[in-house]
Chains A and B, each alone.
Chain A
Amino acid sequence: MAAKKRKKGGISRSALVLTFLILALAVLVIIFFNGQGGEKVKRGAEAVAPKARTEAKAKPVETRAVTLFFVADDDDLLHKETRTIPAGPNEADEAERALAELIRGSEEGLSSPLPARTRVRQVFIAKDGVATVDLSRDVAENFAYGSTSELAAVYAVVNTLVYNFKPVKKVVFLVEGAERETLGGHVDLTRAFFPDYSLVAR
């Protein structure tokens, strides 16, 4: 009996070790899969967003009308022209599109006061109503501005933004991501601009 007992005791001891090992393995496996599971959830979330976007694209694109300001040949004023652009997701995106259209030019025989090579790098609209417009260096380089054309270029941008986008009260310019004194030696670009509708034809 004593030997049996001993034997039994021996078995239970190895069983204990085995159980411990199995438990440890189980814990490791749970930790392992939990970690992976977390990853999977994260990836899942990432994967959801683009999917939603493609779904939105599949729907008919929402649009909105914007008013652009161009120069005419027979007077020195800015003239309004309406254009339809894709809407959203936010107003800064729409503002970028509106300015790109302004640079692309008129569909009614008017001229854009901005150099055609200019790209809109970014528009940022702050909560205090200041829109910061970052234009590529082409807006200022290799383009000979006079006072009149420089005023037209600045106010075409400022008027387009303030006229179309309610949160925008005034506009600050950056050229290639940096502050710049003037576009071509005339208009002070270091200050925020309010719109000037006195330059606009009625």
Chain B
Amino acid sequence: MRFFRIVRPAAAALAAVLLFAAAPPARAQEPALRTVVIDPGHGGLESGAKGRFGNLEKDITLAVSLKLKALIEKGMDFEVVLTRDRDVDVSIENRSAIANNHKASLFISVHANGAVQKKAAGSETFFLSLNATDEETRRLAYLENNSSDLQSRIDPSTDDDLMMILWDMAQNAYIKESSRLAELVQGELDAMLGTRNRGIKQAPFKVLTGVACPAVLVETAFISNPDEEQKLASDDFQNKVAEAVYRGLARYLRKGE
């Protein structure tokens, strides 16, 4: 028993050294914000939620995302990458892979909400909830204590299983920043849209789990609510949503610097 008590921490330490040997010292060269990835929800065969008047979530998310992209490119010094720029299917894994491959600094997924209740209304901003198992919680504690920049810390030579586990939990290292981004974006949505403020929430959304940077999912309004569906379909409301997210983003960046 005593032997194992000594060997176990030693093995863990060795694993940690091997894993992070190639990584530069933490925070020494944190990259400046450069790329924002915007993710228009759904697309192609997958329409997302549907409205009574026939509007589809996938069309509204794309329209809002294109407007947001234009605003950021005009007003900020960032490259904007969309996970799709037309009506095509993109797998959820590819959405986070696009963000990670572009070394995204921020990830914003744009959605329109749907509920069984026709009266459900309002805007809300989500960030990831962990809902982690015990085993994951242990790994998580380790990641939180050791990683500020997961991207540079995952050595390409790391074996596949470990890579998968790390990528699968990539967002976990950014929960605090994601929460701050969600709060600021939601504040602007509330100020600009005149919709019910449903606040910021956490949920286990698949598209957020693999993203290795602060990430939020914006539920602009309810397409399942006939009043809000008509708003969502209008150019004016879409412009307001894009402007609100843009302002939230700007506030996030100002505070972060």
A residues contacting B by CB (< 8 A) are: 71-74, 76, 111-113, 144-149, 151-152, 181-182, 184-194
Contact = CB atoms under 8 A, between A and B. Distances in A.
The winner among A71, A72, A74, A144 for most chain B CB atoms within 10 A is A144
A71 B92 contact: no
Contact of B119 (A73, A146, A193): A73
A188 to B, nearest CB: 4
B48 A148 contact: no
B115 A148 contact: yes
The winner among B46, B92, B117, B207 for most chain A CB atoms within 10 A is B117
The winner among A112, A191, A193 for most chain B CB atoms within 10 A is A191
Contact of A147 (B116, B119, B131, B203): B203
Contact of B117 (A71, A186, A188, A189): A71
B223 interface: yes
Given A147-B205, A151-B203, A194-B131, A184 B48 contact: yes
Given A144-B47, A184-B48, 18 more contacts: A71-B116, A76-B198, A144-B50, A144-B114, A145-B48, A146-B111, A146-B222, A146-B223, A147-B203, A148-B219, A149-B115, A149-B116, A152-B115, A185-B92, A186-B203, A186-B206, A188-B209, A191-B133
Contacts of B50: 144
Query: What class of interface size applies to chain B in its complex with A?
Result: 20 to 34
Interface string B112-149: 11111111100000100001010000000000000000
Interface in B88-113: 92, 111-113
A144 B48 contact: yes
Contacts of A74: 117, 119
A190 B136 CA distance: 14
B123 to A, nearest CB: 12
A182 B206 contact: yes
At the interface, is chain A mostly helix, strand, loop or mixed?
A: loop
Contacts of A112: 116
Contact of A185 (B46, B113, B222): B46
B217 A147 contact: yes
B111 A113 contact: no
B115 A186 contact: no
Nearest to A188: B206
B66 interface: no
Contacts of A147: 111, 113-114, 126, 203, 205, 217, 219
B49 A144 contact: yes
Contacts, number: 95
Nearest to B92: A181
B49 to A, nearest CB: 4
The winner among A73, A151, A187, A188 for most chain B CB atoms within 10 A is A188
A184 B223 CA distance: 15
B24 interface: no
A185 B41 contact: yes
A188 B133 CA distance: 14
Nearest to A112: B116
B57 interface: yes
The winner among A185, A191, A192, A194 for most chain B CB atoms within 10 A is A185
The winner among B49, B57, B92, B111 for most chain A CB atoms within 10 A is B49
Q: 8 shortest A-B CB distances, which residue pairs?
A: A146-B114, A146-B49, A188-B206, A148-B115, A144-B50, A146-B113, A188-B204, A149-B115
B69 interface: no
B178 interface: no
A191 B115 contact: no
Nearest to B198: A76
Interface in B19-65: 41-42, 46-50, 57
B185 to A, nearest CB: 15
Contacts of A185: 41-42, 46, 48, 92, 206-207
B224 interface: yes
A74 B115 CA distance: 12
Contacts of A190: 206
A145 B92 contact: no
Contact of A193 (B131, B198, B206, B224): B131
B182 to A, nearest CB: 14
A182 to B, nearest CB: 5
Contact of B205 (A72, A148, A187): A187
